[in-house]
């Protein structure tokens, strides 16, 4: 038995995953246990879960893979420091991060009391870990492999070719140039300051026109051979110490843009300030500039290698709006983005890279994301008994053992306009709810978006909700036909279908779809099929089961979310909890 534990530590989205004999046994983000979004630090609870799921002790772990290698590009780092003379605090911050990562063995033994780690720690360069997470999980024998994010190991992007069991890095973009920093800085400028807020700019972009492209050209330039570069005068990250918080809490990033950006585009929007047409148009321009740079890189790689398949990772691979256009605006014909393309997924990529370094073959493609904690009906019943008094007249609680009857009851609630919390099986790996920790609604209702925002989500009105659709129905409802199992691409809804599913059709006619396969999630597939039989619509509105918090992990969290919001029904395993409106 060969065991590899992969870790993303001391960065946002701290996470762990476990490989045993080349197969993923478990994978989960630390935030699911800490209940702090994007939690940064050492993923002690995620590690404990992965070992428990595998039935292993720390002593059984032969190899630990870390998705960071402080030795990578060391001469380039030193040359930059000597030539540019940045703020000494910037250098000290990097050295502090390196020191934190050097004591992994001791941290493991603290995380798993009573255990002893006698294995090897393998640093894996950040972007190589991302690339491995993309290609080694993909269905491709040969593909272009690209990683794009903010920064990791002094680089912001890397690309190459995956073939068989090997991932080869052919090129990189180094600090201080970065598509991820460009998008993050512009997200801050638009008044969304929190780590991970970039998806808000994507949602807002659909409401604007890209009329600031001349200004975007001044910020982000295209270079030969697919390259790109920032105009550094508009940014701060390369010369000043930016405040970061990467340890034991909410990750934060200080302001990345400088005063020249406001001179170019006008005053930055302050959080809470009204969103104007100018902000909408800047958001559209930012998205268009990002897409232009990404497509420029991919077109150049295609011209060099002639490969039509792409495995994509890195934080920028979560730009589902751009991902949906990859096969329309580049020569590519197929794209794979694994369930956790950001830094959490680096834990998986590092583990896979070490597995291959040890001379082993690739695992089968990863076609589902159900790799987290799960709970029995008996455990769920105990939580319900502890939380809901048996004589509480405001709720009805039933156990429905028959899956067909369970689905019929849920469909009845949805068709009646109800909002349903759906908690089943293993927690999803990655940022998306994929039918195991989801809140569901009727996509046909024009008012469902407002209902969800008033009852539960309480989020910005410009953000869309996603459709979970049966895989064999995609071509009937969308202008593209493709498999999107991890909700990583936005497709255009067919014009004649938009009026039928207004709750999941964005203002620009698009939808960030999630394709559902019977083999990957038979119960969720059965539920959607039952809804289709009732309504003629083979999809459900699907949003993450949470309320301004990480997606629920434990039944207790699902029940707490149900009770503090105005959700109508909670289906948790085979237990159904209904709110009685006339109580």
Q: Dump pLDDT digits (tens) for 108-138.
A: 999 999 889 999 999 999 999 999 999 999 9
How remote is the C-alpha of 449 from its chain's centroid?
Answer: 22
Tens digits of per-residue pLDDT, 336-359? 999 999 999 999 999 999 999 999
- Average pLDDT of every residue of the chain: 93
Q: What is the pLDDT of residues 54-80, one digit of tens each?
A: 999 999 999 999 999 888 777 777 777
What fold characterizes domain 3-131? Nucleotidyltransferase; domain 5 (3.30.420)
Give the pLDDT confidence of 277-308 residue by residue, as tens digits. Answer: 999 999 999 999 999 999 999 999 999 999 99
- Per-residue pLDDT tens for 150-206? 999 999 999 999 999 999 999 999 999 999 999 999 999 999 999 999 999 999 999
Q: Is 440 exposed, middle or buried (0-12, 13-18, 19+ CB in 10 A)?
A: buried
Closest by CA position to 205, among listed 268, 270, 288, 262: 288
Secondary structure class of 351 (helix, strand, coil): helix
Pairing of strands 3-8, 63-66: parallel
Instruction: Identify whether the C-beta of residue 233 lies closer than 8 Å to the C-beta of residue 260.
Output: yes
Fold agreement between 3-131 and 377-579: no
The runs of H, that is alpha helices, within 60-165 are 74-84, 88-102, 104-111, 126-135
pLDDT of residue 87: 58
**pLDDT of residue 411 exceeding 80:** yes
Q: Catalytic residue positions? A: 11
Tell me the torsion sign for CA atoms 311, 316, 318, 323. negative
Structure tokens at 40: 């940064």
Residue appearing with tokens 């990189």 = 172
Q: What is the pLDDT of residue 99?
A: 46
For residues 515 and 528, give the distance between their C-alpha atoms in angstroms, rounded to a whole number: 11
At residue 90, the pLDDT reads 52
Task: Give yes or no for residue 583 having a pLDDT over 70.
Answer: no
Dump pLDDT digits (tens) for 4-61.
999 999 989 999 999 999 899 999 999 999 999 999 999 999 999 999 999 999 999 9
Q: How far apart are CA 121 and CA 28, in angstroms?
A: 20
Instruction: Give the pLDDT confidence of 242-261 residue by residue, as tens digits.
Output: 777 676 788 889 999 999 99
State the residue for tokens 């908690």.
423
**Contacting residues for 325 by C-beta, under 8 A, at least 6 apart:** 291, 295
In this structure, are residues 79 and 86 in contact, taking their beta carbons and an 8 Å threshold?
Answer: no
* pLDDT score of 459 more than 90: no
- Domain 137-339, classified CATH 3.30.420.40, yes or no: yes
Q: Where are the domains of the chain?
A: 3-131, 137-339, 377-579
pLDDT at 81 over 80: no
CA distances from 497 to 320, 326, 411, 475, 476 (A): 21, 23, 21, 11, 9
Question: Quick one: pLDDT at residue 101?
Answer: 46
pTM of the model: 0.94
pLDDT of residue 341: 97
What pLDDT band is residue 579 in, cutting at 50, 70 and 90?
A: very high
What is the number of alpha carbons within 13 Å of residue 78 lying toward its C-beta? 6
In the predicted structure, residue 268 carries a pLDDT above the cut 50: yes
How distant is the alpha carbon of residue 256 from its chain centre?
Answer: 22
Phi-psi region at 467: left, alpha or beta (left = phi > 0; alpha = psi -120 to 50):
beta
Task: Kindly provide the residue ranges of all beta strands, DSSP E only, lying in 153-226, ordered along the sequence.
Answer: 155-163, 166-174, 220-222
CATH number, span 377-579: 3.90.870.20
Reply yes or no on whether the pLDDT at 540 is more than 50.
Answer: yes
C-alpha–C-alpha distance, residues 135 and 480, integer Å: 23
């Amino acid at each position: 038995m060969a065991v590899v534990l992969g870790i993303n530590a001391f960065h946002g989205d701290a996470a762990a995953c476990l490989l045993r004999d080349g197969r993923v046994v478990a994978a989960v983000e630390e935030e699911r246990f800490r209940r702090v979004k994007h939690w940064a630090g050492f993923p002690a609870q995620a590690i404990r879960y992965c070992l428990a799921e595998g039935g292993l002790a720390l002593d059984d772990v032969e190899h630990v893979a870390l998705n960071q290698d402080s030795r990578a590009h060391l001469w380039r780092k030193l040359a930059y420091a000597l030539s540019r003379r940045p703020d000494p605090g910037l250098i000290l911050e990097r050295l502090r991060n390196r020191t934190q990562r050097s004591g992994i063995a001791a941290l493991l033994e603290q995380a798993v009391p009573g255990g002893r780690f006698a294995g090897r720690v393998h640093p894996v360069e950040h972007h190589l870990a991302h690339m491995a997470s993309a290609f080694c999980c993909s269905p491709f024998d040969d593909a272009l492999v690209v990683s794009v994010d903010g920064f990791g190991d002094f680089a912001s992007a890397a690309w190459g070719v995956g073939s068989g069991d090997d991932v080869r890095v052919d090129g990189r973009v180094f600090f201080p140039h970065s598509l991820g920093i460009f998008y993050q800085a512009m997200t801050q400028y638009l008044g969304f300051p929190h780590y991970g807020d970039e998806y808000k700019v994507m949602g807002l972009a659909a409401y604007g026109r890209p009329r600031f492209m001349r200004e975007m050209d001044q910020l982000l330039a295209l270079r030969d051979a697919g390259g790109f570069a920032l105009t550094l005068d508009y940014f701060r990250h390369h010369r000043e110490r930016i405040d970061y918080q990467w340890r034991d809490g909410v990750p934060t990033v200080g302001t990345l843009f400088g005063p020249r950006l406001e001179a170019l585009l006008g005053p930055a929007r302050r959080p809470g300030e009204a969103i104007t047409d100018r902000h909408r148009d800047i958001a559209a321009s930012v998205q268009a500039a990002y897409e232009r740079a990404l497509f420029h890189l991919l077109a150049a790689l295609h011209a060099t290698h002639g490969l039509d398949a792409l495995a994509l990772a890195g934080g920028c691979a979560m730009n589902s709006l751009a991902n949906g256009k990859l096969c329309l605006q580049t020569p590519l014909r197929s794209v794979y983005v694994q369930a956790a393309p950001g830094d959490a997924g680096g834990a998986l990529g590092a583990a896979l890279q070490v597995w291959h370094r040890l001379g082993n073959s690739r695992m089968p493609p990863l076609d589902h994301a159900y790799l987290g904690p799960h709970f029995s009906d008996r455990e769920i019943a105990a939580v319900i008994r502890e939380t809901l008094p048996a004589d509480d007249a405001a709720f009805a609680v039933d156990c429905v053992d028959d899956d067909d009857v369970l689905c019929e009851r849920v469909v009845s609630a949805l068709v009646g306009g109800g909002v349903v919390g759906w908690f089943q099986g293993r927690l999803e790996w990655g940022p998306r709810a994929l039918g195991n920790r989801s809140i569901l609604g009727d996509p046909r209702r024009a008012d469902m978006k407002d209902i969800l925002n008033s009852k539960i989500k309480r989020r910005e009105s410009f953000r869309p909700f996603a459709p979970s659709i049966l895989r064999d129905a995609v071509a009937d409802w969308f202008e593209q036909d493709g498999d999107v199992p991890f909700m990583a691409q936005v497709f255009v809804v067919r014009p004649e279908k938009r009026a039928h599913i207004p709750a999941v059709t964005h203002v620009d006619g698009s939808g960030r779809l999630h394709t559902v396969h019977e083999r990957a999630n038979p119960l969720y597939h059965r539920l959607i099929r039952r809804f289709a039989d009732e309504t003629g619509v083979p999809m459900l509105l699907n949003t993450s089961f949470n309320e301004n918090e990480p997606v629920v992990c434990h039944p207790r969290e699902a029940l707490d979310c149900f009770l503090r919001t105005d959700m109508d029904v909670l289906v948790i395993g085979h237990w159904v909890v209904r709110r009685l409106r006339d109580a």
